[in-house]
Amino acid sequence: MKKTRLVIILIIITMLALPVNAFANHEEGIVYTALGDSIAAGTGSANGDSYTDMFNEYLRKLYKDKVYNDKVVYNNFASDGTTSGALVMDLTNPLDPDFYATFNAVISSNVITISIGGNDVLDYIEQFDPEIEYSEEDFNAIAYYIETNIVPQMFSNFTDIISAIKTTNPTAQIYVNNFYNPFVYDEELHNFAELFIPDINTALKDGEISLIYGRLYYVVDVYTAFDGYRNPKSLVNYDYSLETKDAYLHPRHKGYKVMTNVLKDLYEENQ
C-alpha cells in the first residue's frame, strides 16, 4: 500500500513540474510525439526514415511561418522490439527508465502517433521453424491461439496505453496504425495472417469512439493502402538473408512513404 501511494505521489509531482503544452495552439506551433516499435523507428527503410520522420517533415513545412522558423517539436521514442506491454510501462511506471522522458513528451504533445502490437504477435510466431511445412490445420490452430491468447492481452495493453495518454493529455490527437499483412511473398503465409489480422483491425476501428469519452484515437488504415497497392512486394522487405533479416517483414522506404501519405490525409481531414 505504501509503495502504491509513493508511485501516485511521484506521478502527481511530475505532472505539476512539467509544462502542459509547449504551444497553446496550432498557430504558434505543435509538438509531435511518435511512440511504438521498429516500424515507427524506421527499420527496413533504405535511409532509416520511418513514416514518423516523413510525417514530421510534413508538419514542419505545414507550420513554418513567413520567415521559415521551425515551429514543430519532434519527439521519437520508438525502438526495435517494443511490445504493447513495454509501452504501457513507459507510460505508467515511474520506475521504468523511459517513463519521465516519455511522460514529459506526451503531456506536451498536440499530435501523437502509435505503431504497436506487431511484436506481440511476431514474438509468438517466431518460435515456429520456417523449414517445417505446416498443414492447414496447424495454421488454423496457431491463428486460433493468437486470437484467443495473444490478441486479448495486446488489446488489454492497448487500452492501458490510450487511457494513460488521455489521462495525461486529453486534448492530444492520437493516430494509431492498424496492421498490414507483411507476407507479400508467400501466398500460404499471407492467407494464414489473414485469419487474424482483419479481426485485429476491426477491433481497432471499433474502439475509436467511446460512448462515454467520445473520440479516443484515429485509425491509420495502412492495411488497405498496402493490400490495394499495385505491387505490394515493393512495399515490404521479404528477403530473410543475413544482410536484411533485421528488416524482414518491415516496410521498405516506399512502404513508409505510403504509410505517411495515409497518415497525412487523415490528419488533414481532422484539422
In whole angstroms, give the CA distance from residue 219 to residue 166.
16
Give the burial class of 122: count Cβ atoms within 10 A of its Cβ; 0-12 exposed, 13-18 middle, 19 or more buried: middle
Give the burial class of 2: count Cβ atoms within 10 A of its Cβ; 0-12 exposed, 13-18 middle, 19 or more buried: exposed
In whole angstroms, give the CA distance from residue 119 to residue 236.
16
Dihedrals φ, ψ of 174, to 5°?
-115, 130
Question: What CATH number did the domain enclosing 240 receive?
Answer: 3.40.50.1110
3-state SS class at 229: coil
pLDDT in tens, 23-61: 545 556 799 999 999 999 999 998 999 999 999 999 999
Task: Provide the grid cell at 213.
Answer: 469519452
Pairing of strands 214-215, 209-210: antiparallel
> Angle of helix 253-269 relative to helix 51-63, nearest 10 degrees?
40
Residue 169's domain spans which residues?
2-269
How many Cβ atoms are within 10 Å of 127's Cβ, its own excluded? 7
Q: Which residues contact 256 (CB under 8 A, 6 or more apart)?
A: 42, 44, 45, 49, 50, 51, 54
**Structural domain total, the chain:** 1
Secondary structure E strands in 57-199: 72-76, 111-115, 173-177
Place of cell 501511494: 5
Place of cell 513495454: 86
In whole angstroms, give the CA distance from residue 84 to residue 77.
14
In whole angstroms, give the CA distance from residue 6 to residue 21.
26
* Contact between residue 203 and residue 141 where contact means Cβ atoms under 8 Å apart: no
pLDDT attached to residue 132: 80
In whole angstroms, give the CA distance from residue 260 to residue 247.
18
Identify how many contiguous H helices and E strands the chain contains and give both numbers.
12, 7
**What does the pLDDT profile of the chain (271 residues) look like in tens digits?**
344 344 433 444 444 444 444 454 555 679 999 999 999 999 999 899 999 999 999 999 998 876 567 789 999 999 999 999 999 999 999 999 999 999 999 999 999 999 999 999 999 988 887 778 888 999 999 999 999 999 999 999 999 999 999 999 999 999 999 999 999 988 999 999 999 999 999 999 999 999 888 999 999 999 999 999 999 999 999 876 656 667 889 999 999 999 999 999 999 999 8
